[in-house]
């Protein structure tokens, strides 16, 4: 199938590369010329496991090209994915300007399109958006009617950064959700997913939109629940990880992958999606109590780490603190809404001298912090420079106790509970989220 992918960020690029790897002819569109140049030379603009090699392969095979020419790309395709950003506005509500702009442009092009076309919204949009924004713009600008001249689908994306390609190609744990304006359009999209190993749910447009928010909100509230219990455990001098093990024995709770204690949820999705849903729900006169609580707890977590640092060192003014990990999770270079960034900001506000290190996130961090922090080249360098070190992202390499044990008297705050606390040597002072405050 000839497919256009509009927006080549984490979602668009993954969508494009994965469908191209399945033999489809993909044309990407972006307004960012630097991304287009990189993609056409087979170089990924983002760090994502396996992306470099797969992108190179599909570009060299001629199955994927990129340009800034939306009109001709749409004319040359049978279906387009809208994968542009839907960031939060200042007040937390959703900014739909990118989605609206692209809908207008596709609509204008559809005037001259000689076949029935399908527009698929992959960007995360609130329930009702396809019907109140995308379809009206497409109809008005094309002069065509939905379900007749063109079809619309909502196909929310469930990939996790760090394993985006494998998640996309193997949706057996996430499923494929297709909201559809009409059966014919849903059939076209379902056909595109032929051979993908995952259950397919076909439903109404707004139901598909809601499913994405319900899933993100559910997981966000799990993270905040775990963090609240972890904070309580610390205060009662209980190790939360032992409590977590006990909780997981209950099959109703199960594996509890979102019960890890840490700095809270970060990344480009959870926070903005929870905030957008809160705003939307409030506009309907409903009080979203659980959603608000999830957000409130999440906002507390970075300051839990700050409090531990102050407990260990007293006044932080002039103290050198190393923050290990800046990305919002391991396996990505994405620092959007990273809790590690928040921790650095809190430390700087206390006039601490901060050195940072991240295996993949340094370039993006430089854009945020400029000259405000020191940049270490390795974990070892950061540890050697500091009085206290904070593990802020769960990169596996930070879980090696030998990195810390060579420095007598080092204070380690394990913001991700990565270290095996049973093997912490006596010469290190260990603190952690959900770790007994009075012990060790
Ligand atoms: P992103 O910010 O990384 O990428 C968006 C891209 O769209 C950018 O490259 C930007 O230049 C481009 N763009 C903006 N306006 C454009 C226009 N008019 N024409 C062409 N390109 C344009 O965003 P992302 O992280 O890929 O997320 C995209 C959407 O997918 C969002 O709605 C997000 O909530 C959702 N989502 C993201 C993830 C994730 O893990 N990142 C997962 C699931 C869903």
Nearest residue by C-alpha to atom 29 in ligand 1: 123
CA distance 396 to 99: 37
For residue 439, the model assigns a pLDDT of 46
Instruction: Supply the Cα-derived Rg of the chain in whole angstroms.
Output: 23
**Contact 80 CB / ligand 1 (< 6 Å):** no
Give tens-digit pLDDT for 76-92: 999 999 999 999 999 99
Would the CB of 124 count as within 6 Å of ligand 1?
A: yes
From ligand 1's centre to the CA of 284, what distance in Å? 27
Smallest CA-to-CA distance from 193 within 12, 15, 6 is with: 15
Please work out whether the CB of residue 332 comes within 6 Å of at least one atom of ligand 1.
Answer: no
Convert the pLDDT of each residue in 387-417 to its tens digit. Answer: 999 999 999 999 999 999 999 999 999 999 9
Where is 382: in which H helix or E strand? Answer: helix 379-385
Tell me how far apart the terminal alpha carbons of the chain are, to the nearest angstrom: 61
Q: Express each pLDDT in 208-254 by its tens digit.
A: 999 999 999 999 999 999 999 999 999 999 999 999 999 999 988 87
The answer to whether the CB of 159 is under 6 A from ligand 1 is yes
Cβ(126) – ligand 1 distance below 6 Å: no
In the residue annotation, 269 being an active-site residue is answered as: yes
| Sign of the four-CA dihedral 377, 378, 379, 383 | negative
86 lines ligand 1 (CB under 6 A): yes
- Among 8, 11, 171, residue to substitute to test ligand 1 (most atoms within 8 Å of Cβ): 11
Calpha distance 85→100 (Å, rounded):
11
Q: Among 6, 9, 74, name the best residue to mutate to test ligand 1's pocket (greatest count of ligand atoms within 8 A of Cβ).
A: 9
Residues of 241-275 as b/e, b for ≥16 C-beta within 10 angstroms?
bebbeebeeeeeeeeeeebbbbbbbbbbbbbbbbb
Q: What is the best residue among 45, 69, 74, 85 to mutate for testing ligand 1's pocket, by most ligand atoms within 8 Å of CB?
A: 85
Query: Is any atom of ligand 1 closer than 6 Å to the C-beta of 95?
Result: no
Residue 254 has what pLDDT? Answer: 77
Kindly give, in sequence order, each residue whose CB lies less than 8 Å from that of residue 102, ignoring residues fewer than 6 positions away: 6, 7, 70, 82, 84
* CB of residue 364 inside a 6 A radius of ligand 1: no
- The answer, yes or no, to whether any atom of ligand 1 lies below 6 A from the CB of 270, is no
Instruction: Give the contacts of 326 (CB within 8 A, at least 6 positions apart).
Output: 335, 338, 340, 341, 344, 356, 358, 361, 362, 364, 365, 392, 393
Say how far apart CA 26 and CA 110 lie, in whole Å. Answer: 18
Question: Measured in angstroms, how far is the CA atom of residue 422 from the centroid of ligand 1?
Answer: 42
Cα of 436 vs centre of ligand 1, distance in Å, is 41
Nearest protein Cα to ligand 1, atom 10:
7
Q: Tell me the C-alpha distance between 30 and 113, whole Å.
A: 21
For residue 256, the model assigns a pLDDT of 65
Per-residue pLDDT of 333-391, as tens digits, reads 999 999 999 999 999 999 999 999 999 999 999 999 999 999 999 999 999 999 999 99
Quote the CA–CA distance of 121 and 391 in Å, as a whole number. Answer: 37
The two tokens of residue 150 are 């063109």
Atom of ligand 1 nearest to the CA of 101: 18
> What does pTM read for this prediction?
0.95
* Catalytic residue (choose from 18, 153, 269, 389): 269
The pLDDT, as a whole number, for residue 437 is 76
Place 438 in a pLDDT band, splitting at 50, 70 and 90. Answer: low
Confidence check: pLDDT of 139 > 70: yes
pLDDT tens track for 263-287: 999 999 999 999 999 999 999 999 9
Mean pLDDT of the chain: 96
Burial 374-397 (b: 16+ CB within 10 A, else e): bebeebeebbebbbbbbbbbbbee
């Amino acid at each position: 199938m000839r497919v256009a992918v509009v927006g080549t960020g984490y979602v668009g690029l993954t969508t494009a590369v994965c469908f191209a790897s399945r033999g489809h002819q993909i044309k990407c569109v972006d307004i960012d010329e630097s991304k287009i140049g990189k993609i056409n030379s087979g170089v990924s603009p983002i760090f994502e496991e396996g992306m470099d090699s797969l992108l190179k392969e599909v570009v060299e095979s001629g199955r994927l090209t990129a340009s800034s020419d939306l009109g001709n790309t749409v004319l040359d395709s049978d279906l387009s994915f809208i994968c542009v950003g839907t960031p939060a506005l200042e007040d937390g509500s959703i900014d739909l300007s990118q989605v609206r702009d692209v809908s207008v442009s596709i609509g204008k092009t559809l005037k001259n399109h000689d076949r029935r076309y399908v527009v698929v919204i992959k960007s995360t949009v609130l329930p009702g958006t396809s019907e109140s924004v995308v379809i009206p713009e497409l109809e008005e600008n094309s002069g065509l009617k939905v379900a007749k001249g063109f079809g619309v689908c909502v196909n929310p994306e469930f990939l996790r950064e760090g394993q985006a390609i494998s998640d996309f190609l193997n949706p057996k744990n996430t499923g494929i959700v297709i909201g559809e304006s009409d059966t014919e359009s849903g059939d076209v999209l379902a056909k595109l997913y032929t051979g993908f190993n995952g259950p397919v749910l076909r439903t109404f447009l707004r139901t598909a939109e809601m499913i994405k928010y319900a899933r993100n909100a559910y997981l966000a509230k799990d993270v905040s629940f775990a963090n609240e219990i972890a904070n309580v455990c610390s205060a009662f001098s209980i190790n939360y990880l032992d409590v977590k093990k006990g909780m997981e024995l209950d099959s109703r709770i199960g594996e509890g992958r979102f019960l890890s204690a840490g700095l809270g949820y970060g990344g480009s999705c959870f926070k903005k999606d929870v905030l957008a849903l809160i705003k939307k729900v409030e506009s309907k006169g409903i009080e979203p109590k659980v959603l608000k609580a999830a957000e409130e707890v999440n906002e507390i977590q970075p300051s839990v780490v700050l409090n531990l640092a102050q407990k260990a060192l007293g006044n932080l003014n002039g103290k050198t603190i190393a923050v290990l990990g800046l990305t919002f999770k391991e396996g990505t270079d994405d620092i959007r809404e990273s809790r590690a960034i928040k921790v650095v900001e809190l430390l700087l506000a206390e006039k601490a001298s901060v050195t940072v290190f991240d295996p993949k996130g340094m370039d993006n961090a430089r854009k945020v912090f400029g000259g405000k922090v020191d940049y270490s080249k390795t974990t070892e360098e950061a540890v050697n420079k500091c009085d206290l070190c904070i593990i802020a992202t769960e990169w596996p390499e930070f879980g090696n106790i030998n990195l810390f044990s060579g420095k007598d008297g080092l204070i380690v705050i394990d913001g991700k509970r990565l270290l095996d606390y049973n093997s912490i040597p006596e010469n290190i002072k260990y603190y952690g989220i959900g770790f007994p405050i009075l012990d060790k």
